[in-house]
Amino acid sequence: MAVSNNKSADKKVILVILDGIGDLPTTKTPLQLAKKPNLDSLARDGITGLMAPLGKGVVPGSDTSHLQYFGYDLEKYYPGRGVLEALGAGIRLRDGDVAFRANFATLNGTEIIDRRAGRIDSNSAKSFEEILNMTVDDVEVIFRSTVEHRGVVVLRGQGLSPLISDTDPHKLGKLIHSEPIGSSKESRKTANAVNKFTNKARELLENHPKNIERKGKHLPIANGVLLRGVSAYKKIDDVKTRFGITAACVAGGALYKGVARYVGMDVVDVVGATGTKDTDLNAKVKVVMECLKDHDLVFLHIKACDSFGHDGDLKGKTKMIERIDRLAIAPLKKSGAAIVITGDHSTPCVRKGHSGHEVPILVYCKNERNDDVKKFDEISCMKGGLGHVTGKDLMPILLNLIEKSKMCGS
């Protein structure tokens, strides 16, 4: 608890995003079922409400809700998935780069047999990385393998455009030839580079030693790369410029790191922060405490509740909440910082996917107003003193808590 007596923690805020935390009551929601004395004590001593990340009833993706929470309106700032994935994978993008989410797939000719190449393991996938970094005409292709079959592709060069179609059909079927959207020279050039890369990748992968090894083991080979989520990168004003604050991100999942890097947060890699159900919460909290020393806002992302929701595992989600309460919330309470806890969307176990239901939010801060809500869950927080807020309200609320707002007017 090095920071518990740290005066600098005053006027700082920890934003805890419990991914997919919101749920529906088959009987009760996981938040209602879980024993979570620390979350409940913060609710009791703070002020609560419900938040619709992108508006009532709207079903958010994870990238969009985070970007909106950080104060970046989607209409103006949402760059598309490829850019956020590439930033999350640690690629330093330059203005004009065109980025894609990539999948390793198993092809038979141009027929996709397995969209994930048998969910190839990360190490095997990594062994293909080198040969997929190449130059196509005058376009540099940067390939980065991330987790299992997942990766990113970035095209870098003069006169590129994101106005082209994906090669990934998003389902089984034929690999798609990328086509320009509209007739610009830039779109034609980019689609052409994508198609050349796709063909070259097939040739190079087909006889790669790792695939020959997999054939021998009767495993699906990774002989194709599917591209989707095309988007172009353009540097935007960071949180320091726009809001006058320093911010750090502590997350396991690459997408969250990508959004954080996009808005100029310091992204701290934590050993053991996996973005999975067995993530090392102790390690993450320790880094949050460190980051508090020299950042106004520390964003802590915990993924697992969302994964349990996608699996329809009510019990698992409930137990995960209890683990978070014990290992993350208890020590954070002692930090001396303001604490805001919410989710990026609901992932009801009964739906096994995202939903448009509001997420509970709690704001805990010295001298803050207090309501009489005593529990942190979807139903109790309906009566909270914050009322119903949206994702657009979150950054102004955070800035106001730590007295970093710029006055509007005089």
Hey, is 136 helix, strand or coil? strand
Lookup: tokens for 123? 């190490």
CB nearer a second copy, residue 287 or residue 340: 340
Residues in the site for a second copy, rule: CB under 8 A? 24-26, 50, 54-65, 74, 78, 81, 229, 348, 350-351, 354-357, 367-371, 378-379, 382-383, 385-389, 392-400, 403, 405-410
CB of 27 to a second copy, least distance (A): 10
CB nearer a second copy, residue 270 or residue 338: 338
CB of 179 to a second copy, least distance (A): 22
CB nearer a second copy, residue 107 or residue 337: 337
Pairing of strands 247-250, 297-302: parallel
Could you tell me which of 233, 194, 192 has the C-alpha nearest to residue 96? 233
Beta strand spans in 95-149 (E)? 98-108, 111-114, 134-136, 139-145
19, 302 Cβ separation under 8 angstroms: yes
CB nearer a second copy, residue 76 or residue 218: 76
CB nearer a second copy, residue 124 or residue 347: 347
CB of 81 to a second copy, least distance (A): 5
As a whole number of angstroms, the distance between CA 284 and CA 301 comes to: 9
H or E segment and range at residue 340: strand 338-342
CB nearer a second copy, residue 183 or residue 367: 367
CB of 176 to a second copy, least distance (A): 19
CB nearer a second copy, residue 169 or residue 272: 169
CB nearer a second copy, residue 48 or residue 178: 48
Angle subtended by helix axes 254-262 and 81-88, to nearest 10: 100
Q: Tell the residue number behind the tokens 């805001």, with chain if given.
A: 340
Lookup: tokens for 311? 């699996």
CB nearer a second copy, residue 200 or residue 388: 388
DSSP-assigned beta bridge partners for residue 150: 103
252, 276 Cβ separation under 8 angstroms: yes
CB of 95 to a second copy, least distance (A): 23
Output the CA–CA distances (angstroms, integers) from residue 132 to 128, 256, 278, 340, in the order listed.
Answer: 7, 25, 31, 42
As a whole number of angstroms, the distance between CA 54 and CA 179 comes to: 32
CB of 164 to a second copy, least distance (A): 18
CB of 93 to a second copy, least distance (A): 18
Burial of 285 (0-12, 13-18, 19+ CB in 10 A): buried
CB of 276 to a second copy, least distance (A): 19
CB of 230 to a second copy, least distance (A): 13
CA 228: distance to chain centroid? 17
As a whole number of angstroms, the distance between CA 364 and CA 358 comes to: 19
As a whole number of angstroms, the distance between CA 296 and CA 306 comes to: 27
